[in-house]
């Protein structure tokens, strides 16, 4: 039986993933100057179409926690899951690294460490596992930091990532921040090579959609397909099939936002149709779990 998920990238590190009547929201933020225009926003009208909505907040930084999410609290079916170091009084179930919660028959979550504030989340929704890194990244600044500071950042990052190497991850949302300067993609590259998510979607690139697109073009490999979602409010459908393939397509925004049950949408344009003239269309999509148990992991 095929199952259809809908992923929407709102802005910066904000995403949602829907499956049937369940919606999972990660680190929603409209932007410092409301760059996410009203027609692209996640609003109460859309939220009310889902029976269960789980809002995840990885930490308290402004660009990961928009206060508007707490105005949704009166809607039926809304639950908040936040990092354990959030300010006192913050609504929601608190999670520290290593904590696990079963939220429903469809949704469970495990919290992992970060190299900044808060946690990262591994959420199982239906049959797929979605990892949202929050601010987990190799936060080095090659032009400014000392050698010792860089080495410490690398060690902290390797320690935080190590437990994730034991997890199966279908889709990872991971930072790609060009403000870091030289080797800004070192964290994302290490994560791809060591954790091997089936799909990685860049985030946290501060208006530099060109950076995400170029990384997607160059960083994909036989284990991980990197997919850029640079447009505000852009959506992508993932359909699983009985053979374990993940088939990707990009429906238009109106269809994605208006359809309360993505599994019922029809006439979704194929990746080949949308990118008919793309010279890179001959990629390894649809994806399979190509990693073999004997493949050595990078320490």
What are the residue boundaries of the structural domains of the chain, listed by start?
3-274
Residue scoring higher pLDDT (194 or 233): 194
- Per residue in 101-129, pLDDT (tens digit) is 999 999 999 999 999 999 999 999 999 99
- Per residue in 241-278, pLDDT (tens digit) is 888 899 999 986 554 554 444 444 444 343 343 334 44
Q: What is the CATH number of domain 3-274?
A: 3.60.15.10
- Per residue in 24-72, pLDDT (tens digit) is 999 999 988 888 888 899 999 999 999 999 999 999 998 899 999 999 9
- H or E segment to which residue 253 belongs: helix 253-258
* Per-residue confidence (pLDDT) for residue 19, from 0 to 100: 97
Backbone angles phi, psi at 78, to 5 degrees: -85, 130
Full strand arrangement of the beta sheet holding 93-95: 93-95, 78-83, 52-57, 22-26, 14-19, 3-11, 234-240, 246-249
Whole-angstrom distance, CA of residue 244 vs CA of residue 242: 6
Backbone angles phi, psi at 102, to 5 degrees: -100, 115
Nearest to 209 by CA among 7, 1, 6, 12: 12
The answer to whether 136 and 13 are in contact (CB under 8 A) is no
**What is the pairing mode between strands 100-102 and 128-132?**
unpaired
Per-residue pLDDT at 284 exceeds 90: no
Specify the pTM: 0.84
Token pair 């390797």: residue: 158
């Amino acid at each position: 039986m095929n199952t259809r998920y809908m992923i929407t990238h709102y802005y910066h590190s904000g995403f949602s993933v829907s499956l049937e009547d369940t919606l999972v929201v990660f680190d929603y933020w409209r932007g410092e100057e409301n760059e996410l225009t009203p027609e692209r926003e996640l609003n109460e009208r859309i939220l009310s179409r889902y029976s269960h909505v789980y809002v995840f907040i990885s930490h308290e930084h402004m660009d990961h926690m928009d206060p508007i999410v707490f105005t949704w609290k009166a809607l039926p079916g809304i639950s908040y899951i936040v990092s354990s170091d959030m300010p006192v009084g913050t609504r929601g179930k608190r999670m520290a690294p290593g904590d696990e919660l079963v939220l429903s028959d469809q949704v469970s979550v495990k919290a992992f460490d970060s190299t900044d504030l808060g946690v990262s989340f591994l959420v199982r929704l239906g049959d797929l596992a979605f990892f949202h890194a929050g601010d987990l990244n190799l936060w080095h600044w090659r032009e400014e930091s000392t050698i010792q500071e860089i080495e410490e950042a690398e060690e902290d990052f390797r320690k935080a990532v190590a437990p994730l190497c034991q997890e199966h991850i279908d889709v990872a949302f991971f930072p790609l921040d060009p403000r870091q300067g030289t080797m800004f993609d070192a964290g994302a590259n290490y994560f791809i090579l060591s954790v091997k998510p089936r799909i990685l979607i860049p985030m946290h690139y501060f208006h530099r959609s060109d950076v995400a697109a170029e990384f997607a073009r160059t960083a994909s490999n036989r284990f991980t397909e990197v997919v850029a979602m640079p447009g505000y409010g852009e959506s992508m459908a993932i359909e699983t099939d009985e053979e374990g393939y993940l088939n990707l397509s990009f429906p238009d925004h109106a269809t994605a936002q208006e359809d309360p049950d993505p599994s019922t949408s029809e006439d979704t344009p194929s990746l080949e149709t949308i990118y008919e003239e793309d010279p890179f269309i001959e990629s390894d999509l649809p994806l399979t779990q190509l990693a073999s148990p004997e493949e050595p992991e990078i320490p």
